[in-house]
Amino acid sequence: MLILAVCGSPNMQGNTAFMLNLALEEAKRLGAEVKLIDVCAALDTCDSPFCTSCSKPCRGICLEGTAMADVADLLRRADGIIFGTPVYFGTLSAQMKAFFDKIRCLRGENALLNTVGGALAVGHTQFGGEEAAMAAIKDAMMVYGMTVVGNGHSDFNSGHLGVALTDPARENKDAQEKMIAMTRRIVEVANATASLRKR
């Protein structure tokens, strides 16, 4: 099993990366292969970080010879993906949005169909847009045909919409517990739905 964490923050030492690494530690403990994807670093290898609709349908031409091509290959193999973003102006980061746009060739391939996904959003202010950022991530996951889960697990409780928190993440034990719960749910559902993914 391959579980990915996709970090849409420009700060790989920050709160979003901290929470995603916590998730990967739990997934690894549960027996999964894990990988953290740095969205900003991958997008920086492209001529343009933004989708320009250069081919219709999208064939991923703009990814050829870039780190994003390697990322796309990882996404094709993934059983579960956690997308994490800081909250910028009440929603997800521009980098995270650009990432979803740049991988749209995967939609035409149905590459993420039935891949299990969860959302993480880290804000600086409570009620500053965490749920809106998670909703944007979940909308994108649905468009890609993913199976979206929240942070519920039988070892914890039914959960909520994903993992939302205000910084600093390292001191937020409640959010860390929710992150572990969502990771367990993703691994559990990914195991149960493995036959649905055409690999």
Percent of the chain's residues with pLDDT above 70: 100
Q: What is the pLDDT of residues 48-66, one digit of tens each?
A: 999 988 888 888 999 999 9
> In this structure, which CATH number among 3.40.50.720, 3.40.50.360, 3.40.50.2300, 3.40.50.300 belongs to the domain 2-196?
3.40.50.360
Residue type, 69: A
- Domain boundaries, given as residue ranges, for the chain: 2-196
pLDDT band at 127 (very low <50, low <70, confident <90, very high): confident
Sign of the Cα torsion 185, 112, 133, 31 reads positive
Helix residue ranges, H only, the chain: 15-29, 39-43, 67-77, 94-102, 105-108, 130-143, 173-192
**Interatomic CA distance for residues 78 and 81, integer angstroms:** 7
Contact 37, 6 (CB under 8 A): yes
DSSP state of 110: T
CA 24 to each of CA 39, 93, 127, 131, 150: distance values in angstroms, whole numbers, following the listed order: 16, 21, 26, 22, 16
Q: What's the confidence (pLDDT) of residue 167?
A: 86
Give the number of other Cβ atoms within 10 Å of residue 127's Cβ: 10
For residue 199, the model assigns a pLDDT of 74
123 residue type, one letter: G
Distance CA 104, CA 90 (A): 24
Q: What are the tens digits of pLDDT across the range 23-55? A: 999 999 999 999 999 999 999 999 999 998 888
pLDDT class for 151, splitting at 50, 70, 90?
very high
Question: What is the arithmetic mean of pLDDT over 174-188?
Answer: 97
| Beta carbons of 43 and 8 less than 8 angstroms apart | no
pTM score, two decimals? 0.96
Rounded to whole angstroms, the Cα distance separating 175 from 27 reads: 16
Write out the H or E segment, with its range, that includes residue 190.
helix 173-192
- More confidently predicted of 121 and 125: 121
For residue range 64-119, list pLDDT tens digits in order: 999 999 999 999 999 999 999 999 999 999 999 999 999 999 999 999 999 999 99
